[in-house]
């Protein structure tokens, strides 16, 4: 009898742990895709980043052509270049003092979290075939 | 003794710094002009490809601002103010003495020691010569009169002078055209020179060659006619910058700079734009 209860207890704990881990990873997957969605939204919304006013991004109606195609751009960046990509979005003047790209960071157009979401989204473009 | 000389030198230095500084910032010649990305002819081809000829067809059906122009002609002949005069009292029936005049505007005026525009001159005449109230800028009557006066130079090549005292204001206009503004940190020239003919989403960036030859224009987006100053203010709002006030010194300098870019082209009002 006692043995049984103990076994049951252990089982419950195990089940709970597995369930906990499962929800954890599921929510992580969820929040990662949420963040990508958020990044994409920032890029395609006029009042936010509005990257598509100048750059090509997949599945966007009539993107602008002032800047380079961002899918092509991301082919040239590896994970190791994350700081460079972030800097481009944060303040492109570091690379081109007379750039047309708005200084999203210093001019407080986007928050650091929003910029991070944009960078995540840009890296997800490496998997795009278009 | 030494201390006094040092103080004097320091004062001089402090006085001189802003002078030289403002010179560096203000002189238009120091601005590195952009190379235009395309010619107007190339722009027209891209425009046709991108938008089709819908605006052209609409213009052929008639420009709604023609009605405003007719009202402007009536206003020109209407007696107003304490002195019992109309514009025609001084400038002749049907604007006889104003033919070709608007092709030289904006221009330097020694009385105001600044740049005069047609809209400004209309209000100066009303106040000083007619004893009438100045018309609110961008109001129907003000635009109608501007339109009528400018139409008296339709077909006349624009010939704006930037010689003599006008030069300084032209340089100021150019400096403003190249000044970064607003949260987006754009300047006018980057869109209308460096990236002209490129697309910002569904907007084609226009090269500035024809920016000064057709205002006031009817604009579909506004659903009515407006002045070049309203258009400039619109772009400034898009830049998230605080727009210059109507007829402020800054916006008149910009109008001068832009109209000078259209020198040699025939004035054609009212224009029609999307």
Residues B78-132 have pLDDT tens digits of: 999 999 999 999 999 999 999 999 999 999 999 999 999 999 999 999 999 999 9
Rounded Cα gap, residues B125 and B119, in angstroms: 10
Judged against a pLDDT cut of 80, whether residue A20 lies above it is answered with no
Count interface pairs A-B at CB distance under 8 A: 35
Tokens of B2: 């030494």
Q: Is the ipTM of this complex over 0.95?
A: no
Nearest C-alpha in B relative to A98:
B190
Distance from CA of A127 to the nearest CA of B (A): 24
> Which of B197, B164, B171, B151 is closest to B45 using CA atoms?
B197
Cα B61–chain centre separation: 27
**Span between the terminal Cα atoms of chain A, in Å:** 64
Looking at chain B, list the stretches that DSSP marks H as alpha helix, in order from N- to C-terminal side. Answer: 2-26, 40-51, 54-61, 65-77, 87-91, 118-124, 140-151, 166-177, 188-189, 228-238, 249-261
A62:B194 CB<8 A: no
Name which of A126-130, B26-30, B46-50 the model is least confident about.
B26-30
Residues of B with a catalytic annotation lie at 235
pLDDT for B142 beyond 70: yes
Q: How many residues does chain A have?
A: 130
Mean pLDDT of chain B: 91
Chain B residue whose CA is closest to A64: B201
Q: What is the CATH number of domain B18-62+161-273?
A: 1.10.760.10
Distance between CA B247 and CA B228 in Å, rounded? 11
Are residues A107 and B198, on separate chains, in Cβ contact within 8 Å?
no
Please, are residues B167 and B28 in contact by the beta-carbon 8 Å criterion? no
CB contact under 8 A, B201 and A62: yes
> Encoding tokens for residue A88?
């481009």
**What tokens were used for B218?**
């009817």
CA distance B204 to B188: 14
* Across A67-90, average pLDDT: 98
Dihedral of the alpha carbons of B245, B248, B250, B252, in degrees to the nearest 10? 110
Parts of chain B belonging to CATH 1.10.760.10:
18-62+161-273, 65-151
> What's the pLDDT at B6?
56
| Separation CA B187–CA B207 (nearest Å) | 14
Which residue in chain A is spatially nearest to B190 when comparing CA positions?
A: A100
For residue B2, what are the contacts with CB-CB under 8 A and spacing of at least 6? none
Alpha-carbon distance B65 to nearest alpha carbon in chain A (angstroms): 31
- Which residue out of B201, B205, B238, B240 would a mutagenesis test of the A interface target, given it has the greatest number of A Cβ atoms within 10 Å? B201
User: Is B65-151 CATH 1.10.760.10?
Assistant: yes
């Amino acid at each position: 009898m006692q043995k049984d209860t103990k076994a049951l207890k252990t089982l419950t704990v195990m089940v709970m742990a597995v369930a906990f881990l499962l929800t954890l990873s599921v929510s992580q997957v969820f929040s990662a895709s949420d963040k990508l969605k958020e990044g994409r939204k920032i890029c395609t919304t006029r009042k936010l980043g509005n990257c598509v006013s100048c750059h090509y991004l997949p599945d966007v109606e009539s993107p602008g052509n002032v800047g380079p195609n961002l899918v092509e751009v991301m082919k040239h960046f590896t994970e190791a270049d994350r700081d460079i990509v972030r800097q481009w979005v944060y303040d492109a003047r570091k690379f081109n003092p007379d750039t047309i790209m708005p200084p999203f960071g210093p001019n407080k157009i986007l928050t650091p979290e929003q910029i991070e979401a944009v960078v995540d989204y840009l890296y997800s473009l490496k998997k795009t075939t278009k | 003794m030494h201390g006094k000389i040092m103080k004097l030198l320091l004062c001089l230095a402090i006085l001189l710094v802003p002078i030289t500084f403002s010179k560096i910032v203000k002189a238009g010649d120091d601005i590195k002009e952009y190379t235009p990305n395309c010619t107007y002819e190339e722009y027209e081809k891209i425009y046709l490809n991108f938008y089709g000829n819908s605006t052209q067809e609409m213009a052929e059906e008639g420009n709604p601002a023609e009605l405003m122009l007719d009202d402007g002609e009536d206003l020109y002949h209407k007696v107003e103010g304490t002195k019992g005069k109309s514009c025609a009292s001084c400038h002749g029936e049907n604007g006889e003495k104003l033919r070709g005049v608007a092709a030289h505007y904006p221009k330097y005026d020694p009385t105001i020691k600044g740049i005069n525009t047609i809209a400004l001159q209309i209000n100066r005449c009303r106040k000083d010569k007619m004893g009438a109230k100045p018309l609110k800028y961008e109001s129907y009557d003000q635009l109608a009169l501007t339109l009528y006066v400018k139409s008296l130079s339709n077909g006349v090549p624009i010939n704006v002078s930037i010689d003599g005292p006008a030069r300084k204001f032209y340089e100021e206009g150019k400096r403003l055209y190249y000044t970064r503004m607003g949260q987006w940190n754009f300047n006018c020239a980057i869109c209308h020179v460096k990236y002209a003919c490129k697309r910002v989403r569904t907007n084609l960036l226009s090269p500035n060659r024809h920016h000064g030859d057709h205002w006031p224009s009817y604009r579909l987006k506004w659903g009515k006619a407006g002045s070049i100053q309203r258009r400039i203010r619109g772009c400034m709002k898009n830049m998230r910058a605080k727009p210059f006030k109507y007829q402020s010194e800054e916006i008149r300098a910009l109008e001068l700079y832009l109209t000078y870019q259209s020198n040699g082209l025939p004035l054609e009002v009212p224009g029609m734009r999307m």
